Structure formats: C-alpha cells, structure tokens
C-alpha cells in the first residue's frame, strides 16, 4: 500500500514501501543418485593418495558429502568397501587390457602377447596402489570376491591361450609351453610388484625410466622365446 507524506515544501510525496531483499534459496540436502558408486570413487581416490591403509568408511562418506552413517546401507564394513574398490580397480585394469588387444595385430599371437603384457605393465605402473589392492590378498576377503577371482582367472587364461596360439603358429622356440606361460606371468607380475615394493632405487632405476624398462624387459623375454628366423 502506498501512503503520502508532506514534504518540507508542503507538497505531498508518494512513499513507496521498501522491497525486501530476495532471500537466497535454502540449500537442498545433498543427495546422490548413486551413492554406492560415489563412495567407491571416493575410496579409490583415498587409495591413490595414501594407499589402502588410508581408506575408511567414515572418510569416504566425508568426501562424498554424506553423513557418517549413510554408507552403511551399501557397505556394512570396511572390508565390504575394500572389496567394491577392488572390483572397480579390476574392471579398469581389464578395460585397459581389452583396449590394447583391440588394436593388436591380427594373426600374430606373439604380437598380441606383447600388447597384453605392455597394457598390464603400464596400468600397474601408473596405478600402483590400485594394482596392490587387486594383487594383495590381505586387503579384502578374496574367497568372497567371486567376480574378482573369476576375472583374474580369465586374464590368466587369456595369457596362457595367447602363448599357446603362438606355440601352435610356430612362433615359439621348441620348449615347455607351460614353463613359458608361467614365466610370462611371473615377468609382468613380478616387475609390477617390484615397483610397488620400492625395489627399483636399489637397482639404479629412476621412476621416469620404469615404464621404458618394463617395455625393454618384455621385449627381451619375447626375443628369448621367439623362434629365430
């Protein structure tokens, strides 16, 4: 409602009511459409920053922006959260290998083995803490992680099959195929573990050289098992 007042000159002036400043909308409660996924991502970040020991359900909840009790609907314990972290890390690991194999040369099993080995080593070198999660049996209950065990078995079988195909194709020197398969697995796994366990400095290997060295020793192994032309 408008009202008139007399000015000092005796004239009437219209006084307009003051407008109230617009209030900022009240903040909405934080809500995740997929809280489970966000918690796993938060835990993966914690692993990447401080290793598996840095992970707790409470800290994952804090990073996700939810109450400390919210995660327990999805993860009743830290072990359950770590298993989910391992499953996601394993999925990313597998995706890296499959992407590399998609570009591998057709009709060249030994070339495919090289692509597989390089993808394995590069992912493990670039994601050492995540690789440790999926390669160590102390961080979660492997016996209950059927998906991880199955996926790991498939990767081992893929390595064995690739080398078996190279053997049948006459690409390998006459030797015990099973020993070659085990040696190939030991090479990539062992090099990745040496990186995690901090062995490279004592061998005079600087961090920036690690990937290049990984590729070189893989080629050295392939040269040793390949049939000479």
Q: Any idea where the domains of the chain sit in the sequence?
A: 33-76, 88-225
98 token code pair:
């499959």
Fill in the DSSP letter of residue 72.
G
Instruction: Select, from the ranges 60-74, 121-135, 144-158, the one with the highest average predicted confidence (pLDDT).
Output: 121-135
At 30 the pLDDT is 46
Q: Which fold has domain 33-76?
A: Arc Repressor Mutant, subunit A (1.10.10)
Q: Helices 210-225 and 177-196 sit at what angle, rounded to 10 degrees?
A: 170
Calculate mean pLDDT across residues 82-100.
93
Q: What is the mean pLDDT of the chain?
A: 85
pLDDT band at 32 (very low <50, low <70, confident <90, very high): low
At 33 the pLDDT is 65
At 136 the pLDDT is 77
pLDDT of residue 24 exceeding 50: no
pLDDT of residue 1 exceeding 80: no
Task: With CA atoms as reference, report the closest residue to 90 among 56, 60, 124.
Answer: 124
Q: Which fold has domain 88-225?
A: Tetracycline Repressor; domain 2 (1.10.357)
Calculate mean pLDDT across residues 121-141.
86
pLDDT of residue 51 exceeding 60: yes
Give residue-wise pLDDT tens across range 175-191: 899 999 999 999 999 99
Is 33-76's fold the same as 88-225's?
A: no
pLDDT band at 7 (very low <50, low <70, confident <90, very high): very low
pLDDT of residue 198 exceeding 50: yes
d(CA 46, CA 42): 6
């Amino acid at each position: 409602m408008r009202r008139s007042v007399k000015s000092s000159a005796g004239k009437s002036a219209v006084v307009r009511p003051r407008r109230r400043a617009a209030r900022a909308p009240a903040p909405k409660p934080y809500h995740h459409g997929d809280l489970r996924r966000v918690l796993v991502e938060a835990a993966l970040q914690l692993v990447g920053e401080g290793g598996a020991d840095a992970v707790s359900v409470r800290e994952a909840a804090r990073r996700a922006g939810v109450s400390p009790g919210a995660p327990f609907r999805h993860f009743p314990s830290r072990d359950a959260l770590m298993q989910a972290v391992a499953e996601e890390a394993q999925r990313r690991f597998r995706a890296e290998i499959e992407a590399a194999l998609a570009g591998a040369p057709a009709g060249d099993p030994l070339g495919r083995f090289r692509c597989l080995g390089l993808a394995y080593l590069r992912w493990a070198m670039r994601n050492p803490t995540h690789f440790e999660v999926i390669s160590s049996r102390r961080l979660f209950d492997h016996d209950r992680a059927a998906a991880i065990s199955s996926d790991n078995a498939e990767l081992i079988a893929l390595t064995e099959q690739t080398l078996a195909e190279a053997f049948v194709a006459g690409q390998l020197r006459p030797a015990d195929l099973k020993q070659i398969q085990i040696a190939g697995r030991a090479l990539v796994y062992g090099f990745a573990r040496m990186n995690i366990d901090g062995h490279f400095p004592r061998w005079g290997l600087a961090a920036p050289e690690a990937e290049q060295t990984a590729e070189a020793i893989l080629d050295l192994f392939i040269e040793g098992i390949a049939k000479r032309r």
